[in-house]
């Protein structure tokens, strides 16, 4: 019995030893290609993923695997490695980063860039991390080819305009579709108070990547929303061991380049000359315009309004994030606070942002991802400078950027006792003292915004997944204006209050089947099929009242006299089905086909649905066998794409006839037709072609891409006149045979020019050439006005059509112009106008350089645009118009004509603006500025404290830095900021300035601490 037990024990021991011999314990490290450890990387057996582990904080792992196992090493953002263990017991794995130029994230999944044959541009979040940016769209300015970004206001929280490959519509929107973690975001501003960039609710430090789909073949899966391109933002996820990151930044905002205007004696002298040039010598003082003062008076008031209102402000930015991730789930949570003072006193912007991103692997088949972003933006002392769009004189006059420059320096905003003075001179017959207005008026705006999403991924079988997605975009905006009775201009109202409330609730849901398989090791197939629904709702309420019993009571419930109450509600629904198939053979030949059918409530029943599509192909030439001997060429890929996409962004209800209250009928209230509907409305369509070449040399030490593209927009939505007896209104919005075409070349080049020892220089450069042309107008018209836009056949959209300035008559100082025949005229007519350039730059781009030595790093980034023209409305309307009627003037007027024989480009000033021969200083090429510029957009010097020091204090990393934004600008223009133009300029309207708020110069310092 004892022998039997002993024999059984020995047999069991031998069996266990044999079984143990079939397993092997592997240890090793996982690092990136720079030798940095990758904590949280997954290491598992290929045929049995349940046998696996994740690397620790040092990138190390230990795993017992079966004999003959094959390991998979995987980490988000890096190329997966598959390793046969064999007899090895130790592995040192180096993962190569995939790079954002090789990955594209869409609402419906992630696709390898190598499988994309369309035009895609991308920027990493780390490229703009810790910049004091209010919105992420500022981060891509100058960094992506084919993407033109221009500020419409440099005010804190101000908006930007983004155009991808030109302007293709005169009436519909030209803005791209924005997608944040799968949620489609409504473009445009909600607040009238300057905080009008809804993208400002996203903290740029939370962004992992930004990708731009530039052509139809890449963006066709978005169908009727893709005519203007697609911008896809993916925020950060948790990876690896728990980590905490703290960012603290402090700095200053400074005015960039304020106009230089006359001082008191200079202004009085110009005013004297203007008066006497019209009414004769000796008529100015003391009986003429004496209120502006005697230029020879030593006690003449000399007040600097610009210095009184402008300031150097403070900027602050604080953010804290925590994250963790493994194969079971992940989280990323962050909070941020930002504040920036404006360049004008009493003006500042604040933002609070909270973000939570989670991912949970509920089972081997089911995972759930959730994102939530909650933000609140506040604008105080908001700037109103919208006379171009609103036509409201009150808004114009109470803009500090207007008042600071035009207020006459021979008067003071203060009485001798320190109280505010009443303004009665010139333009200030409105009795408005801008210094008093800025200090006593309240102009406030806020945007509360929530963006959230839930996505479920269910693995049906190997290679087939069901993905269900739901996302919301909810916003509440409030504007508040209070004009107290202490301001003489509003004294008659005894206090005036107005409030506007806007609410939007948008959602998009989708369900897709995602298929991906490889057949016979060479046939790679990926496919997506699904459907989507989007709904947008909008509500607005406005109320205004006056006559406050106490100026300290500033609620609408305190007004004794209600003035106006109004409101509006709007709703829009869109639905679509789509499919996409991608095929590649052995990584050499690629084919991509997309089909989508969309329906929208914006069109009538007959044209409610449309079909959109895109096809593209690519040839990876360097994967061919005959390229094996070409060692220096690491990548060469030819891409060709063509597709049709649509644009329905014209607002709601244009297919319906709408009515408005107004007038009376039989002594009672009545409705009147407001807008005539058109049941035949349908999409504008855009046919787009792209031919591209990607290349890499010397193991991608030098890489880049060149794309030639063509974008033809047709079926344009424009006003269509009806017969004369149609009544009022007598036009409708309709599709026409008008055509706008954009053509261009996008070039991106990057690489490592120098990498020697501890010193490394990386550089990237992009340039985009753009040509825009109105090829056809309805009924063969040569010219067509569409709101604030005028289209000219054969010319770019936004072309300048003005008289050409011929200089000053040296004998009498009167301005001259060329007529249609090239002769001199003093009173040009419409037929004398000439085409003199357009809003559209001929080329634009950026150049980024990073120089690093050990822990030191210097980033130098230039941004530029060349060849666009901007009308200097500041000079034309006030500062250099030859008629200083109560408005200060630019110092350029000091170079005016004063006596016969003077050679100058600036005429003599004249009271009232009309010369003796009927001539005048008309809008002409004189005011047309070459708005080309090159700007040092970013200069950053940083230092990373060595790892051994950080480990000794229990921290992961510490970076300290100083940086500047907008430090230097080269331009030939006289504009305060050649970048900033009116909001409609990139939608086809003429680019002009009316005291626009310029971008500030920013200097800051900060730390980034990680645990």
Q: Evaluate whether 616 touches 604 at the Cβ level (below 8 Å).
A: no
Q: How confident is the model at residue 429 (pLDDT cuts 50, 70, 90)?
A: very low
Lowest mean pLDDT: which of 360-369, 405-414, 617-626, 659-668?
659-668
Q: How far apart are CA 881 and CA 876, in angstroms?
A: 5
The answer to whether residue 988 scores a pLDDT higher than 70 is no
Task: Give SS3 for 216.
Answer: helix
pLDDT higher than 80, residue 669:
no
Q: Which of 36-40, 108-112, 919-923 has the highest mean predicted lDDT (pLDDT)?
A: 919-923
The string of pLDDT tens digits covering residues 186-211 is 765 444 444 456 678 899 899 998 89
443-499 pLDDT, tens digit per residue, is 888 999 999 999 999 999 999 999 999 999 999 999 998 989 998 878 888 989 999
- What are the tens digits of pLDDT across the range 524-540? 999 999 999 999 999 99
Q: Of 1, 89, 7, 93, give the one whose Cα is nearest residue 42.
A: 93
Who wins on pLDDT, 867 or 997?
867
Contacts 24+ apart (CB under 8 A), 592-596: 592/115, 592/116, 592/117, 592/118, 592/217, 592/616, 592/617, 592/641, 594/217, 594/220, 594/221, 594/643, 595/220, 596/220, 596/221, 596/222, 596/223, 596/224
For residues 232 and 105, the answer to whether their CB atoms sit within 8 Å is: yes
User: Omega into 729 within 30° of 0, i.e. cis?
Assistant: yes
The answer on pLDDT for 987 being more than 60 is no
Residue 803's nearest CA partner among 772, 842, 829 is 829
Residue 285, pLDDT above cutoff 90:
no
pLDDT of residue 404: 86
Instruction: Work out the angle at residue 443's Cα, subtended by the Cα atoms of residues 258 and 651, and round it to the nearest 5 degrees.
Output: 95
Question: What would the DSSP string read from start to end of 41-110?
Answer: -EEEETTEEEEEEE--TTSEEEEEEETT-EEEEE-TTB--EEEE-TT-SEEEEEEPB--GGGEEEETTEE
Q: 112: how many CB neighbours lie within 10 A of its CB?
A: 15
DSSP code, position 896: B
Residue 736 has pLDDT above 60, yes or no: yes
Beta bridge partners of 360: 329, 368
What's the whole-number mean pLDDT along residues 767-796? Answer: 89
Distances (CA, A) of 763 to 861, 962, 993: 10, 20, 35
Mean pLDDT score, 835-849: 93
What's the mean pLDDT in 226-255?
A: 92
How far is 484 from 728, CA to CA, in rounded Å?
40
Question: Which range in 128-142, 544-558, 823-837, 983-997 is most confidently predicted, on average pLDDT?
Answer: 823-837
* Percent with pLDDT over 70 in the chain: 87
Q: pLDDT at residue 986 above 80? A: no
At 679-717, the pLDDT tens digits run: 888 999 999 999 999 999 998 899 999 999 999 999 998
| CA distance linking residue 98 with residue 120, whole number of Å | 15
DSSP 876: I
**What is the DSSP pairing of strand 177-180 with strand 230-235?**
parallel
513 pairs with which residues across the strands?
Answer: 466, 529
Average pLDDT over residues 162-190: 85
Cα angle 540-545-548, degrees, rounded to a multiple of 5: 145
Q: CA distances (Å), 636 to each of 326, 583, 633, in order? A: 36, 19, 7
Supply the pLDDT for residue 126: 77
Task: Give the confidence band of 112 by pLDDT, cuts at 50, 70, 90.
Answer: low
Question: Which CA distances in Å does 120 have to 113, 161, 285, 864?
Answer: 8, 20, 68, 21
- Whether the per-residue pLDDT at 48 is higher than 90: the answer is no
Instruction: Give the pLDDT band of residue 664 (cuts 50, 70, 90).
Output: low
What is the b/e burial string over 326-354, where b = at least 16 CB atoms within 10 angstroms of the residue's CB?
A: beebbbbbbbbebbbbbbbbbbbbbbbbe
pLDDT (0 to 100) of residue 8: 47
CB 549 within 8 Å of CB 558 = yes
Cis status of the peptide bond prior to 828, with omega within 30 of 0? no
Which of 111 and 734 is assigned the larger pLDDT?
734
- Closest by Cα among 261, 259, 288 to 273: 288
Cβ pair 871, 837 in contact under 8 A? no
pLDDT over 60 at 239, yes or no: yes
Is the pLDDT confidence value at 503 over 90? yes
Confidence of residue 813 (pLDDT cuts 50, 70, 90): very high
For residues 233-244, give the mean pLDDT: 90
> pLDDT at residue 910 above 80?
yes
Q: What's the chain's average pLDDT?
A: 86
743-754 residue pLDDT tens: 999 999 999 999
Task: Flag whether pLDDT at 888 surpasses 50.
Answer: yes
Instruction: Indicate whether 7 pLDDT > 50.
Output: no
Q: Which domains does the chain have, with CATH numbers?
A: 20-95 (2.60.40.1120), 100-237 (2.170.130.10)
Q: Which of 553-562, 826-835, 901-910, 1000-1009 has the lowest mean pLDDT?
A: 553-562
Confidence of residue 135 (pLDDT cuts 50, 70, 90): confident
CB neighbour class for 22 (10 Å; exposed up to 12, middle 13-18, buried from 19):
exposed
Q: Is residue 793 over pLDDT 70?
A: yes
SS3 content of the chain, % helix, strand, coil (to 5): 15, 50, 35
- pLDDT for the residue 77: 57
């Amino acid at each position: 019995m004892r022998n039997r037990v002993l024999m059984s024990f020995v047999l069991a021991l031998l069996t266990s030893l044999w079984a143990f011999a079939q397993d092997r314990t592997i240890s090793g490290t996982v690092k990136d290609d720079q030798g940095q450890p990758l904590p949280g990387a997954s290491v598992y057996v290929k045929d049995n993923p349940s046998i696996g582990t994740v690397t620790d904080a040092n990138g190390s792992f230990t795993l017992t695997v079966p004999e003959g196992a094959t390991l998979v090493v995987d980490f988000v953002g890096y190329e997966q490695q598959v390793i046969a263990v064999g007899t090895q017991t130790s592995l040192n794995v180096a993962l190569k980063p995939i790079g954002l130029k090789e990955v594209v994230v869409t609402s419906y999944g992630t696709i390898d860039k190598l499988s994309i044959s369309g035009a895609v541009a991308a920027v990493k979040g780390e490229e703009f991390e810790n910049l004091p940016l209010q919105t992420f769209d500022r981060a891509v300015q100058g960094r992506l080819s084919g993407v033109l970004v221009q500020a419409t206001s440099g005010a804190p929280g101000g908006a930007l305009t983004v155009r991808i490959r030109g302007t293709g519509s005169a009436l519909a929107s030209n803005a791209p579709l924005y997608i944040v973690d799968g949620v489609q975001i409504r473009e445009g501003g909600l607040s009238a108070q300057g905080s009008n960039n809804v993208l400002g609710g996203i903290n740029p430090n939370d962004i992992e990547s930004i990708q731009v789909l530039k052509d139809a073949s890449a963006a066709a899966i978005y169908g009727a929303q893709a005519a203007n391109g697609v911008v896809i933002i993916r925020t950060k996820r948790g990876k690896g061991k728990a980590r905490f990151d703290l960012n603290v930044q402090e700095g200053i905002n400074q005015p960039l380049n304020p106009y230089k205007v006359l001082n008191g004696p200079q202004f009085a002298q110009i005013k004297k000359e203007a008066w006497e040039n019209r009414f004769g010598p000796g008529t100015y003082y003391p009986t003429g315009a004496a209120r502006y003062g005697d230029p020879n008076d030593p006690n003449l008031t000399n007040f600097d309004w610009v210095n009184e209102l402008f300031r150097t402000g403070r900027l602050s930015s604080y953010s804290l994030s925590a994250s963790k991730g493994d194969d079971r789930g992940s989280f990323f949570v962050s909070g941020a606070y930002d504040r920036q003072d404006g360049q004008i006193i009493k003006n500042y912007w604040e933002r609070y942002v909270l973000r939570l991103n989670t991912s949970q692997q509920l089972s081997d088949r089911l995972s759930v991802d959730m994102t939530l972003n909650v933000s609140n933006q506040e604008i105080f002392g908001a700037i109103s400078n919208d006379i171009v769009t609103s036509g409201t004189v009150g808004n114009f006059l109470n803009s500090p950027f207007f008042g600071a420059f035009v207020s006459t320096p021979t008067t003071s905003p203060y009485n001798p006792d320190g109280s505010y003075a009443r303004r009665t001179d010139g333009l200030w017959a409105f009795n408005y003292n801008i210094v008093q207005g800025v200090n006593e008026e309240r102009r406030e705006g806020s945007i509360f915004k929530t963006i959230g999403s839930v996505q479920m991924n269910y693995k049906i079988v190997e290679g087939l997944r069901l993905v269900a997605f739901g996302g919301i975009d909810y916003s509440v905006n409030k504007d508040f204006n209070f004009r107290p009775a202490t301001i003489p201009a509003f004294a008659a109202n005894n206090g005036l209050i107005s409030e506007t409330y806007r609410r939007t609730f948008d959602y998009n849901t989708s369900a897709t089947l995602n298929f991906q398989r490889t057949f016979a090791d060479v046939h790679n197939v990926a496919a997506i099929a699904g459907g989507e629904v989007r709904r947008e709702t909008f509500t607005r309420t406005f109320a205004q009242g006056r006559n406050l019993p106490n100026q300290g009571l500033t609620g609408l419930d305190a007004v004794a006299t209600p003035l106006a109450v109004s409101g509006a509600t709007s709703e829009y629904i869109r639905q679509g089905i789509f499919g996409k198939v991608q095929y590649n053979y052995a990584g050499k030949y690629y084919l991509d086909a997309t089909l989508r059918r969309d329906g929208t409530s914006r069109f009538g029943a007959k044209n409610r649905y449309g079909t959109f599509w895109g096809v593209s192909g690519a040839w990876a030439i360097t994967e061919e066998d005959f390229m094996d001997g070409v060692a220096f060429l690491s990548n060469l890929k030819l891409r060709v794409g063509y597709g049709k996409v649509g644009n329905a962004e014209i607002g709601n209800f244009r297919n319906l006839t709408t009515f408005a209250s107004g007038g009376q009928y039989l002594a009672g209230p009545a409705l009147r037709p407001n807008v005539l509907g058109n049941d035949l409305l349908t999409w504008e369509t855009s046919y787009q072609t792209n031919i591209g070449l990607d290349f890499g040399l010397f193991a991608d030490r030098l890489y880049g891409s060149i794309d030639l593209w063509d974008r033809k927009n047709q079926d344009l939505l424009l006003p269509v006149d009806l017969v004369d007896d149609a009544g009022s209104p007598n036009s409708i919005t309709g599709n026409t045979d008008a055509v706008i075409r954009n053509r261009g070349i996008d070039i991106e080049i990057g690489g490592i020019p120098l990498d020697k020892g501890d010193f490394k220089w990386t550089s990237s450069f992009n340039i985009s050439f753009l040509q825009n042309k109105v090829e056809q107008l309805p009924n063969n018209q040569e010219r067509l006005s569409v709101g604030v836009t005028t289209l000219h056949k054969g010319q770019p959209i936004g072309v300048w059509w003005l008289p050409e300035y011929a200089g000053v008559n040296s004998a009498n100082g009167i301005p001259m112009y060329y007529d249609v025949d090239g002769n001199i005229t003093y009173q040009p007519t419409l037929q004398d106008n000439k085409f003199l350039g357009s809003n559209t730059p001929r080329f634009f781009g950026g150049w980024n350089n990073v120089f690093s030595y050990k822990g030191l790093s210097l980033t130098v980034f230039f941004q530029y645009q060349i060849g666009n023209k901007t009308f200097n409305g500041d000079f034309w309307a006030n500062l250099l118009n030859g008629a200083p009627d109560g408005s200060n003037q630019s110092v350029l007027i000091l170079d005016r004509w004063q006596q016969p024989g003077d050679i100058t480009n600036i005429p003599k000033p004249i009271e009232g603006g009309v010369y003796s021969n009927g001539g005048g200083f008309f809008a002409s090429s004189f005011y047309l500025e070459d708005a080309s510029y090159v700007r040092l957009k970013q200069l950053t010097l940083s230092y990373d404290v060595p790892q051994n020091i950080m480990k000794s204090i229990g921290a992961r990393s510490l970076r300290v830095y100083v940086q500047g934004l907008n430090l230097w600008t080269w331009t030939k223009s006289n504009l305060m900021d050649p970048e900033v133009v009116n909001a409609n300029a990139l939608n086809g309207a003429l680019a002009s300035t009316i005291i626009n708020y310029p971008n500030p110069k920013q200097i800051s310092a900060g730390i980034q601490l990680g645990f």
